[in-house]
Amino acid sequence: MDTVFFVLSKIFYFVFSPLIWCFVLLLMGFIVKRKSLKKFFYAFSLVLLYVFSNSFLVDEVMRLWEVRPIKENKLKDKYDFIIVLGGALGYYDKKYDQIGFNQSADRVMQAIKFIMKGKSEFLIYSGGSGTLSESFGKESIILKNYLIDIGMPNEKIIIESESRNTYENAKYSAKIIKSIKQNAKVLLITSAFHMRRALACFKKQNIVCDYYPADRKSGERKFLFDHLFIPNTEALLKWEMLMHEFAGYIVYYVMGYV
């Protein structure tokens, strides 16, 4: 059942891509014969593309969705586990044994800081392969080798390498935590736009977490001309993230995962 859900969810998220919507509307304008419909589809696609490429609009929506940041001094002095959710790797070149990090690597950097400060003895990195092809292998295994290579002690790192999505991150990480300690104090670190769904998944597994949002996308509200009016490709990427999260939360709610 989990495998079927994994495949269907990937297809579902693809359908919710704003760029796909714009492309389909353009394609419809090319296909239809009636001039009035052609104009409608071309105009609609242009308006939609402008809306989705507007930095101010996407930042406002992102700000509403992201879990608010929290000051470090508001966290507990000590946690039994710090959990970092996967998604930080852009690629892994096996030939040269080289990792390419993406923007979500901030999740890892925040966790390293807390471990080095002694806020927890154990870091749980949760992440298997989140793609259909498993293009570069198990993310948590690759990341563990990297952390050891930069000086983090092996005994501090616990990996969960079977999960393929947020639901499985919570499911398999919860098993590890409960097998070691009941009622553990847990700090969850993931991207701010992803934190809402992640917390709900862990709560469903009876793991109540403190949280530390990383990789914040919205930033400060800006009223600059280019931010307000000039189309920006980065805005399209932010909408992609948001739509993925909106769709994910809806699907997880229907499936009973949150």
Domain annotation covers residue 172: yes
pLDDT of 10: 64
- Tell whether 143 and 204 lie within a shared domain: yes
Average pLDDT, the chain: 91
Domain annotation covers residue 141: yes
Domain annotation covers residue 226: no
User: For 27-80, what is each residue's pLDDT tens digit?
Assistant: 999 999 999 999 999 999 999 999 999 999 999 999 999 999 999 999 999 999
pTM: 0.90
**Left (φ > 0), alpha (ψ -120 to 50) or beta: where does 238 sit?**
alpha
CATH number reported for the structural domain that contains residue 123 in this entry = 3.40.50.620
Q: What is the mean predicted confidence (pLDDT) over 171-186?
A: 96
Which residue matches tokens 């714009």?
A: 22
Kindly state the percentage of the chain with pLDDT values over 70.
92
* Residue range of the domain that includes 183: 72-214
Measured CA distances, 160 to 19, 129, 215 (Å): 33, 11, 22
Domain annotation covers residue 220: no
- Tell whether 204 and 237 lie within a shared domain: no
Domain annotation covers residue 193: yes
- Tell whether 48 and 94 lie within a shared domain: no
- Tell whether 193 and 108 lie within a shared domain: yes
- Tell whether 240 and 177 lie within a shared domain: no
User: For 94-140, what is each residue's pLDDT tens digit?
Assistant: 888 899 999 899 999 999 999 999 999 999 999 987 554 556 679 99
How far apart (Å, rounded) are the C-alpha atoms in residues 113 and 165?
25
* Residues recorded for the chain: 258
Q: Which residues contact 157 (CB under 8 A, 6 or more apart)?
A: 122, 123, 125, 144, 147, 148
Q: What is the mean predicted confidence (pLDDT) over 201-226?
A: 95
- Tell whether 186 and 97 lie within a shared domain: yes
Domain annotation covers residue 163: yes
- Tell whether 33 and 59 lie within a shared domain: yes
- Tell whether 187 and 203 lie within a shared domain: yes
CA 140 to chain centre: 15
How far apart (Å, rounded) are the C-alpha atoms in residues 150 and 138?
19
- Tell whether 117 and 209 lie within a shared domain: yes
How far apart (Å, rounded) are the C-alpha atoms in residues 14 and 1?
20
- Tell whether 50 and 103 lie within a shared domain: no
On the 0-12 / 13-18 / 19+ scale of CB atoms within 10 A, 151 is: exposed
Contact assessment for residue 193 and residue 241, using Cβ atoms and an 8 Å cutoff? yes
| Domain total of the chain | 2
How far apart (Å, rounded) are the C-alpha atoms in residues 115 and 201?
24
Domain annotation covers residue 9: yes
- Tell whether 200 and 156 lie within a shared domain: yes
How far apart (Å, rounded) are the C-alpha atoms in residues 143 and 64?
31
Domain annotation covers residue 248: yes
Q: What is the mean predicted confidence (pLDDT) over 214-236?
A: 94
Q: Which residues contact 256 (CB under 8 A, 6 or more apart)?
A: 204
pLDDT reading at 1 higher than 60: no
- Tell whether 176 and 117 lie within a shared domain: yes
